[in-house]
Amino acid sequence: MEWKSTNTKLPVADQKRLDALRERLDQDAVFELGYPVAFDINHARLAPFLNYNINNIGDPFQRGHYRLNTHEFEREVLEFFAQAARAPADDWWGYVTNGSTEGNLYGLYLARESLPNGIVYFSQDSHYSVRKNLHFLNMRHIMIRSQPHGEIDYEDLRESIKIRRDAQPIVFANVGTTMKEARDNVGIIRSILDELAIEQSYLHSDAALCGAYCAYLEPRPSWDFADGADSISISGHKFLGAPVPCGIALARRRNVERIAHAVAYIGTVDTTVTGSRNGLSPLMLWHTIRSLGKAGLRERVEHALQMAAYTETTFRQVGIDAWRNPQALTVVFPSPAQSVCTKWQLASNEGISHVICMPHVTRAQIDKLRDDIVVAAGKNK
Ligand SMILES: Cc1ncc(COP(=O)(O)O)c(C=O)c1O
């Protein structure tokens, strides 16, 4: 028996629209410095897989009825990141998500199921989706102050937990805040919980950006399972360069077993947020880790760090008050003129903007942005 997909016909005018879209995307990619998305990985090798209805429905570690999936590749991706995040060998589980909003929702869901009366503590600098997730899950929560460079204020966290000792703490740590790439220290948070002799707690590490490269930084940031996290979320379309939004959720297996239940329709257990799941994104992530390997990922982050250092220096040389957190790819500076933000797709919040030096970013782009900022500032004087 043979199966073939049908070649669809497209009106000429519509083909032209697709061509025009490609041209626009090529242009817009050159003038994009504000978001943590990497463009340097070519996934054309995977194009033939667009002709299959791949769906990773169900648990990636179980066999279900539907076989057009990439579970085998998904498991390899998960194993790679579980190792990088020093997950306990016999007590971890994970799946490839649609991004870190979902990975964070998953971590908070597991936390709520294990500590139903818990209170979530998260910092002012957390991603905007955290509040939405807490609203979905109807969880009690308290916002903690951030330090000026974006890291959580540990004293405020300690005091807030101390005065509510009757409720189990669920701490949501940012390992790379959205605007300043500040990293909350998971080890310090764990030691606060230990100092206060808290018996039951949960710690989620939102490593949307940095989880892809923390393992390759020296000194190693405190962010993973060995440092005290119970679950971790990493984005796949950020540093890892997947061309579609995706991510990796990792958690302690015993917490996942609490929420798993068998579903006859799919012939497997339901352990994920969505039912149908993208089967192409695990393949893209697998393609990235297999083609780059740990050495390639390490090289990419070293190159990106050098570009971030260059950006900070060259901006400062022309009087732009730029700064960055230690070992960060994100360079923060006062928001330039709106025309510059629009041209370069710069995210701005409370008077600051940033450039995120993803591995594809070139000196030519940084120099052009620097000059645009200076020229626009001169015009506005
Ligand atoms: C710290 C942090 N957490 C979560 C997210 C949400 O990730 P996603 O866009 O993959 O859903 C982001 C996105 O920028 C982020 O910076």
What confidence tens digit (pLDDT) does each residue in 287-345 have? 999 999 999 999 999 999 999 999 999 999 999 999 999 999 999 999 999 999 999 99
User: Regarding beta strands 169-174 and 202-206, do their DSSP bridges make them parallel or antiparallel, or are they unpaired?
Assistant: parallel
Residue 76 predicted with pLDDT over 80: yes
The confidence band for 267, taking pLDDT boundaries of 50, 70 and 90, is confident
- Is-contact 123 263, C-beta < 8 A? no
- Is-contact 301 361, C-beta < 8 A? no
Report d(CA 316, CA 318) in Å as an integer. 5
Structure tokens at 196: 């206060």
Q: Rounded mean pLDDT of 91-103? A: 98
Q: Which one-letter amino acid corresponds to residue 140?
A: R
Query: What spacing in Å lies between the alpha carbon of 125 and ligand 1's midpoint?
Result: 12
Query: What spacing in Å lies between the alpha carbon of 185 and ligand 1's midpoint?
Result: 18
Q: Which of 35, 178, 246, 356 to mutate to test the pocket of ligand 1 (most atoms within 8 A of CB)?
A: 178
Query: What spacing in Å lies between the alpha carbon of 329 and ligand 1's midpoint?
Result: 15
Atom number, ligand 1, closest to the C-alpha of residue 101: 11
Residue 381 predicted with pLDDT over 70: no
**Tell me, what DSSP letter sits at residue 215?**
G
Atom number, ligand 1, closest to the C-alpha of residue 36: 14
Residue identifier of the C-alpha nearest atom 5 of ligand 1: 100
Atom number, ligand 1, closest to the C-alpha of residue 104: 4
Q: Which one-letter amino acid corresponds to residue 270?
A: D
Query: What spacing in Å lies between the alpha carbon of 197 and ligand 1's midpoint?
Result: 32
Atom number, ligand 1, closest to the C-alpha of residue 238: 10
User: Regarding beta strands 268-270 and 330-334, do their DSSP bridges make them parallel or antiparallel, or are they unpaired?
Assistant: unpaired
Residue 362 predicted with pLDDT over 90: yes
Atom number, ligand 1, closest to the C-alpha of residue 126: 1
Report d(CA 161, CA 175) in Å as an integer. 20
Report d(CA 297, CA 114) in Å as an integer. 35
Query: What spacing in Å lies between the alpha carbon of 234 and ligand 1's midpoint?
Result: 9
Q: Which of 127, 131, 172, 325 to mutate to test the pocket of ligand 1 (most atoms within 8 A of CB)?
A: 127
Q: CATH for 49-289?
A: 3.40.640.10
- Ligand 1 site residues (CB inside 6 A) read 99-101, 104, 127, 129, 174, 176-178, 206, 208-209, 235, 245, 247
User: What percentage of the chain reaches a pLDDT higher than 70?
Assistant: 99
Q: Which one-letter amino acid corresponds to residue 48?
A: P
pLDDT of residue 269: 85
User: What percentage of the chain reaches a pLDDT higher than 90?
Assistant: 92
In tens, the pLDDT along 364-376 reads 999 999 999 999 9
pLDDT of residue 115: 97
Query: What spacing in Å lies between the alpha carbon of 208 and ligand 1's midpoint?
Result: 5
CATH class, range 22-42+293-379: alpha beta
Q: What are phi and psi of 46, to 5 degrees?
A: -90, 0
Q: Which of 35, 96, 100 to mutate to test the pocket of ligand 1 (most atoms within 8 A of CB)?
A: 100
pLDDT of residue 319: 97
Q: Pinpoint the residues of the chain covered by CATH 3.90.1150.10.
A: 22-42+293-379
Structure tokens at 210: 């940095």
In tens, the pLDDT along 182-239 reads 999 999 999 999 999 999 999 999 999 999 999 999 999 999 999 999 999 999 999 9
Structure tokens at 344: 């370069």
Residue 71 predicted with pLDDT over 70: yes
Query: What spacing in Å lies between the alpha carbon of 101 and ligand 1's midpoint?
Result: 6
Alpha helices by DSSP H, the chain: 12-30, 71-84, 100-114, 129-137, 154-162, 186-195, 253-259, 280-317, 338-344, 363-379
Atom number, ligand 1, closest to the C-alpha of residue 103: 11
Query: What spacing in Å lies between the alpha carbon of 129 and ligand 1's midpoint?
Result: 8
Residue 3 predicted with pLDDT over 90: no
Atom number, ligand 1, closest to the C-alpha of residue 174: 1
Residue 379 predicted with pLDDT over 80: no
Query: What spacing in Å lies between the alpha carbon of 97 and ligand 1's midpoint?
Result: 12
Atom number, ligand 1, closest to the C-alpha of residue 176: 1
Q: Pinpoint the residues of the chain covered by CATH 3.40.640.10.
A: 49-289
- Tokens 């984005």 sit on residue: 235
Residue 336 preceded by cis peptide, ω within 30:
no
Question: 201 CB contacts (<8 Å, ≥6 apart)?
Answer: 115, 118, 168, 169, 170, 171, 193
Query: What spacing in Å lies between the alpha carbon of 247 and ligand 1's midpoint?
Result: 10
